[in-house]
Structure 1
Amino acid sequence: MNKYLFFFIFLVSFFKTQSQENRSFLYATVKDKIGPVINAHILNKNTKQGTFTNENGEFRILAKNNDSLQISFVGYETSIFNIEIKYFGIQKTIFELLKTNYELDEVNIKHNNLLGYLSADSKNIKTEKKINAKTLKLPYAGSRIMTPAERRLRTASGGFGIHPLLNWISGRTKRLKKLKMIEDLELKINQIKNTYHLQIIKELDINETDIYRFIYYCESDKNFTKAYNSSDINMIRFLKNKAESFKKLNPENYN
């Protein structure tokens, strides 16, 4: 059994090495019309290997002529670029992402006494008793439903036998962990956007078109997780402090 397992591992390593043959590191930068895009996801669709941009929007990835790079980021259109020989030259390669236009659904506004400020409105909001599986005390009520990325990762790495080992050797488990990290980040970003949208625009005076860039800028701060897991008041204070530095970095939009 050990002899066959060793032979299988050798074959996997051999084919993985062959797939990277004739590929070199491509160094490039991802930007939008304003500046670098941080934490953008880069995927070589030919090798299925990916990476992320750093704080300067820079990245490196193994590629060769005619490979296809997929670059994605929340709030931007996912773009696919065909790799050319010139991208490996001395001249700096820049890939530009375009903003996604979001259209809000029409809503009916009911009369209320809310002011639009979280610190004051949170005291005046009246909630109705919800009727759901948890309040009805049904079996397994309240259990958190796994996301698609969590289900795929659990299937690939859970249990016993040869399959978890094969997924680890082939790199599939590692790729699924990265996808889960991306999914977790997108969930946080959208939650911040949905919860504090009004405060970010009215109180912090951030442009509507800059909301996602601003939130991702906040997420890159080492204190973001602490503020995210804290109270609403602490989160608003954190966003307020970051808004001041964000505006200084973008003086052309915030005079």
Structure 2
Amino acid sequence: MALMKKLFFLFTLFLGTSLMFGQEDTTVKGVVINATEGVPLESVNIVNINQVKGTTTNARGEFEIKAKATDTLHFSYLGFKSIRVRVTNDWIKFGSSTIELTELAFALEEVVVNEFKLTGFLEVDIQQVPMNTNYRYSISGLQTGYEAGGSSSNAVTRVLGAVFNPADFLHSMFGKQPNEMRKLKKMKQDDEIRTLLANRFDREMLVALLQVDRVDLDEIIRQCNYSKNFIETANDLQILDAISECYEEYKVLSRNRKYGKL
């Protein structure tokens, strides 16, 4: 009887170990093509939203990315409609899959360039150059962010008022979505993700990874006291770093308030 129990225990241990290793380090492969022409697409951005892993397709449209069953992959490419694809056991088991992206029809917006009329006199011409009036409010001991510019006399009041207001948007976002906020660290640590974000300005990948609306994403940055100009011109990597920094400031300020340091 004792022998049977030992055999049963060993069998259960072996089975559990096999299942555990079977679920680790699985990857999926595939080819991304143009749905209309059937040709492979190079440099398509692919992100595993669940595991916060990224990659791009090669010259033959091929890719391989770490993923397990039920993970969601986000595919995006300039001029094409982005899609999300759920990873299945069959995909992992049987190999490569073909992903089709559909082209978007879009029109370029008219851009008006205002030409500077220079007079040749430095004192006069310098008045025509727009000055950077953006402020990034800061508190001593915390990071200052990307934006340059002077400090504001009411910086501390504004920052503390924003963070400590119970109905504040930052508190709502950072407090109610800790899982999404924890993804920030993973995103900052993944070189592939950072490379992808550094070349993007559409916020689409950030929205997909953080599971927030575009409007909410912009509002997070605004509530962190970044300027409208920064929100409109920063690349996605800068936005990621700005949100991450703001989240760290929020935690420090909240901890200081808890222990009565502010």
TM-score normalized with structure 1 length:
0.39
TM-score normalized with structure 2 length:
0.38
Q: Which has the higher contact order (CA 8 A, sep 6+)?
A: 2
